[in-house]
Amino acid sequence: MGMLIKNGNVVMVEDGKISKMDVLIDKGIIAEISPEINRNDVEVIDIEEKFLIPGLIDMHVHFRDPGYTHKEDIHSGSKAALAGGFTGVLMMPNTDPPPDNATVVYYWKEKSKNIPLNILFSGCITKGRAGKELSKLHELKEAGVVAITDDGNWVANGAVFRHAMEYAAALDLLVITHAEEPTIANRGVINEGYWSTVLGLRGIPKAAENVAIYRDIEIAKITGAKLHVAHLSTAEGVRLVAAAKKLGLKVTAEVTPYHLVLTDEALAGYDTNLKVNPPLREAEEQKALLKGLLEGVIDVIATDHAPHASYEKNVEFNDAPFGMEGLETAFPVLYTELVLTKKITLEKLLLKMTVNPAKILQLPKQGDIKKGNYANLTIIDPKLTLKVSEELLVGKSKNNPFLGKTLTGWPVMTIYQGIVAYQRLLKGVQ
């Protein structure tokens, strides 16, 4: 049976418009978009002027599977993604064992095959993510990875990274860089600046990110490979990416929701849920990130969903792992903090969370609401206001920095290829 979604405020992202429309779905495909469609042979869902948006696509998630499934696994991570309105995710390779050959990729495929979510896979640039010897990149490509990265580790050896970029160019693989020069970062745990001094914590200089981005762009220039800069956090990084784009290089970049709405001042209470890498920066850097997002320098908003068990985070700040859980609250955080405050339009926000990631990851018939596209859709209630609590979150881990905060604009239904994959109950709990 097909599905008819009626009376939605349909956001057609590339067209940059929101129109009251009905959408007919047949065999998992968007069959018709029209001001009025009447059918009695399909399931009818009247969404009463809620937003109907393309299913969100997250280019940066950690599902911790295999090896760290006490934090998250493919099934729990997928539940979190669907609850957050996502219909596609790209898994990072910092697992144990890591996917430096096809074996882990096939494990991922087997474990995710019946999940109503487009789960994409990245492989390691180097064996064991150790930065010394290249992974079996041809084998990884044949197994189905769409990107390679040593996520969490920057490939410091320039010769190794250049070799990887040359292979990636030949194999049409996206290279994602975690841009942080480790000897400059020097085991820091917070942005180097006023708050690192006040709190007595070792700082991470912005130069650690800037130097790494500069080198990686230079190697992209001589190899012609596609380079994607993960979780950009500095004004200088924005400038470097902008310069690369002006040269016509195949360079794209992402920013996280929390780098857009939080600064290092939030760490005054030593909340380990706010310990992330790269760290939260000063307000001036945050303004540059938003400006870069609005001007098209930054292509994508990605969550860097990094779940950790409570006992791992409930330790001294220096000992806590980097990372925060983010899939379920990403959209309402951005809607509350950026759209409702008129810092960005809904259409522009969605461009960074649907159309652009679909293009970068080369996902056909995804990322927008168009006739013939897959019916990967999310219904957003712009009036629904919920307080973030551990009970609200469906993923395994609860290390969300917005616990206790009231947010507006929650996903209430996620549809994957014409099938309802998630529906939020009235109390806001699945």
138 marked ligand binding residue: no
Q: How far is CA 370 from CA 33, 89, 281, in A?
A: 8, 21, 38
Kindly report the pTM of this predicted structure.
Answer: 0.97
Please name which of 395, 200, 387 lies closest in space to residue 310, comparing C-alpha atoms: 395
Q: Would you give the DSSP letter of residue 35?
A: S
Edge to edge, the sheet with strand 86-91 lists 56-61, 86-91, 118-123, 147-148, 174-177, 226-229, 251-255, 300-301
pLDDT at 418: 97
Q: Looking at residue 288, what is its pLDDT?
A: 99
Q: Which pair of tokens denotes residue 210? A: 């800037």
Closest CA to 407 of 353, 352, 326, 294: 326
DSSP for 365-422 reads: T-SS--TTSB--EEEEEEEEEEE--TTT--SS----TTTT-EEEEEEEEEEETTEEEE
Mean pLDDT (10-residue bins), the chain, 430 residues: 95 96 98 96 95 99 98 98 99 98 98 98 99 98 98 98 99 99 98 98 99 99 99 99 99 99 98 98 99 99 98 98 98 99 98 99 98 99 97 97 98 98 67
What are residue 378's DSSP bridge partners?
53, 414
**8 A C-beta contact, residue 77 and residue 64:** yes
Ordered domains of the chain (ranges, CATH)? 3-52+373-423 (2.30.40.10), 55-360 (3.20.20.140)
**Looking at residue 363, what is its pLDDT?**
98
Is 317 annotated among the ligand-binding residues? no
Question: Hey, what amino acid is at 341?
Answer: T
Q: Is 178 annotated as a binding residue?
A: yes
304 is catalytic: yes
pLDDT at 275: 98
Q: CA 63 to CA 94: how far, in whole Å?
A: 9
Does a cis peptide bond (omega within 30 degrees of 0) precede residue 382?
no
Closest CA to 53 of 101, 5, 94: 5
Q: What is the pLDDT of residue 425?
A: 78
In the prediction, which pLDDT does 430 show?
A: 37
Rounded to whole angstroms, the Cα distance separating 11 from 9 reads 6
The Cβ of residue 390 has, within 10 Å, a number of other Cβ atoms equal to: 11
153 is in an annotated binding site: no
Of these residues, 65, 216, 264, 304, which one is catalytic? 304
